[in-house]
Amino acid sequence: MEEETQREDNQQQVLKVLEALKQISRNLKNKPTQNLNSNSIKALLELETEGYTILFKDPNLQNLSNHLTKLKQIIHNNHLPNSHTHGIRSFIRRRITNHEISKLAESIETEIQAWIDRESVENLVKFVQNSDGDTNEDDDDEKVKLLTQFENRVLQGFNRDLQDLVLKFKVFNVLETLVCNPKNSLKLKEAAAFAVGGLVEFNKDVFVGEVLMGPIIPALISMGSSTSTCSIQVLCSLIRSIKSPLVDEIETNGLIPKIIKLLGLENEPSIRVTALDCVLEIGYFGRKEAVDAMLEEGLVKKLVELQRSQLGGCLIDMGDRFEDDDEKVKTRDRRDREYLEEHPFVSCVSRFWIQLDVGEGLRQREKRAFKLEILQRVREACDSDSDAATILAEVLWGSSL
């Protein structure tokens, strides 16, 4: 136990040094001449003599040590008396030196980030796998912290070395287990779900297949039924990333009724809002079978009810729908956005139709047929023709949103 504690302390010490070193390297890479004589550079070059020998005991930092030694030699040579003479040869030599320093600083930054990535991925996997089933609140908080750090890292963009680490340590499988394990706390499953979404953004070519073939999507929808808005937000982001293939899987596995059911959770307005977002995404990317499934579940009637609720409304009632003046159009759009923030179900029937109309999943003749069907279902859902008139007008003429 003491050895493990000592190791963690050493890791934290190394991490602190490397983070500072990384910032120095970034500054040196961007402006090698201006930063050459700074105090931070002097500190960088004195690492080996300042009690940081632990930094270079790690074999994974051997390349970093070599880069620092080479950088120290270049900077030392740059301070020799004959290195600042005037003339074309001296000018060329300084340009070459600055280029070498910039490239070395970039290599140092890369090595540091690789070490940080390696430690963070390894720590995440070990901490999750070594925890027993009866985890406490502190364990969950630490896991959530590690998961959030990992999510933020992968959202910075693709990195081949990081991808190799993720594949080597089977991080996706670890995240999948966290999301799908019913014994885990909701906040832990949500943090793992966000990390899954980050991985898909990180490299769709590798991780989309994992999502489509695994149990992640049913688990996210099940979490939504347990009042988790975060899980439905992740589902929306996955639909935007994977598009029609994911909607096909959702429809094939009979999950659309469960999503539509979320619109009816009257005591959970935040769930209903995120469920509407999900429905709109499915409408945009969904093929005929998916749209049919939503309509068969009474989607239009539910949308009419939402639009007539306190959080609904009709933008067409606010006027100025057909103004051509640029300033008036900008004012109208700003007003509409502000109104939408306070009334998330405003004009939701026409918004759904617009998603179908401009989306990627339907053929033109299918769009025309669905428009007629939506109009008919609106009439059936309303108590009178006057109640239906405004909604029908919005569907027929479209909304500005």
Q: Are 64 and 111 a contacting pair, CB within 8 Å?
A: yes
Q: Are 299 and 374 a contacting pair, CB within 8 Å?
A: no
The answer as to whether 368 is a domain residue is yes
Burial of 358 (0-12, 13-18, 19+ CB in 10 A): exposed
Where among 114, 139, 170 does a domain terminate? Answer: 114
Helix (H) or strand (E) holding 108: helix 88-130
* pLDDT for the residue numbered 400: 46
Tokens of 105: 């600083």
Mean pLDDT on 136-152: 91
pLDDT at 182 over 80: yes
- Name every residue whose Cβ is closer than 8 Å to that of residue 10 and which is 6 or more positions away in sequence: 54
pLDDT tens for each residue of 315-362: 776 655 445 566 766 776 787 788 888 999 999 999 999 999 999 999
Mean pLDDT on 66-77: 79
Kindly report which listed range (71-80, 272-281, 310-319, 373-382) carries the lowest average pLDDT score.
Answer: 71-80
* pLDDT for the residue numbered 51: 44
Task: Report the distance separating Cα 105 and Cα 27, nearest Å.
Answer: 9
Residue 57: closest CA among 1, 115, 5: 115
Q: Strands of 61-118 (E only): list them.
A: none
| Overall number of domains in the chain | 2
**CA–CA distances in Å: residue 59 to residues 20, 55, 64, 122, 186:** 20, 10, 10, 16, 39
Burial of 226 (0-12, 13-18, 19+ CB in 10 A): exposed
Kindly report which listed range (19-28, 106-115, 169-178, 237-246) carries the lowest average pLDDT score.
Answer: 19-28
Task: Report the distance separating Cα 15 and Cα 18, nearest Å.
Answer: 5
Where among 87, 114, 141 does a domain terminate? Answer: 114
Mean pLDDT on 354-380: 96
Mean pLDDT on 53-71: 76
Report CA 202 to chain centroid distance, whole Å.
Answer: 9
User: pTM for the complete prediction?
Assistant: 0.85
Taking each continuous run of H as one helix and of E as one strand, the counts in the chain are 20, 0
* pLDDT for the residue numbered 316: 75
Kindly report which listed range (53-62, 121-130, 154-163, 212-221) carries the lowest average pLDDT score.
Answer: 53-62
| Secondary structure class of 46 (helix, strand, coil) | coil
Q: Pick the residue with more confidence: 266 or 221?
A: 221
The answer as to whether 274 is a domain residue is no
The amino acid at 153: R
The answer as to whether 386 is a domain residue is yes
The answer as to whether 140 is a domain residue is no
Tokens of 137: 């609140």
Say how many residues make up the chain: 401
What is the average pLDDT value for the chain, to the nearest integer? 85
- Name every residue whose Cβ is closer than 8 Å to that of residue 140 and which is 6 or more positions away in sequence: 185, 187, 188
The answer as to whether 191 is a domain residue is no
Quote the domain boundaries for residue 106: 2-114
- Name every residue whose Cβ is closer than 8 Å to that of residue 161 and which is 6 or more positions away in sequence: 114, 117
Where among 66, 99, 114 does a domain terminate? Answer: 114
**CA–CA distances in Å: residue 107 to residues 19, 35, 73, 102, 124:** 15, 17, 16, 9, 26
pLDDT band at 401 (very low <50, low <70, confident <90, very high): very low
* pLDDT for the residue numbered 15: 77
**CA–CA distances in Å: residue 297 to residues 104, 229, 258, 302, 372:** 61, 21, 10, 9, 17
pLDDT at 34 over 60: no
Residue 224: closest CA among 198, 251, 256, 252: 256
Q: Strands of 146-296 (E only): list them.
A: none
Mean pLDDT on 256-275: 94
The answer as to whether 211 is a domain residue is no
* pLDDT for the residue numbered 7: 60
The answer as to whether 181 is a domain residue is no
The answer as to whether 207 is a domain residue is no
